[in-house]
Amino acid sequence: MLYTAKCFWPGVDETALRRAAARAGDEAAAFRGALYLPGDELVLCLFDSPSPDHVRRASTHAGFPCERVIETVWVGPGIEREE
């Protein structure tokens, strides 16, 4: 299952974000990447994981200030919907 960890992160810069990303993920929550929205002080981290609890633990361990974990659907060119 794909999840997004929503992280409101005032004052973060790209260097700090890259450091946290290097620490992110574990066996139960594979870190897939992040979207950084500097104008909104927001980072959206994508994880593959069996549960939201694993995502919260992995993101917190990495240093992301996770305020919410959201079930996510990836939509893009050439990506078929799984039934």
Confidence of residue 76 (pLDDT cuts 50, 70, 90): confident
The whole-number pLDDT of residue 82 equals 61
Positive or negative, the CA dihedral 66, 55, 60, 46 is negative
Q: Which domains does the chain have, with CATH numbers?
A: 2-71 (3.30.70.3090)
- Residue-wise pLDDT tens digits, 22-57: 999 777 889 999 999 999 999 999 999 999 999 999
pLDDT at 34: 95
Residue among 77, 63, 74 nearest 2 (CA): 74
Q: For the chain, what is the mean pLDDT? A: 92
Instruction: Write down the pLDDT at residue 18.
Output: 94
Q: What's the whole-number mean pLDDT along residues 65-81?
A: 88
Q: Which helix (H) or strand (E) holds 53?
A: helix 52-62
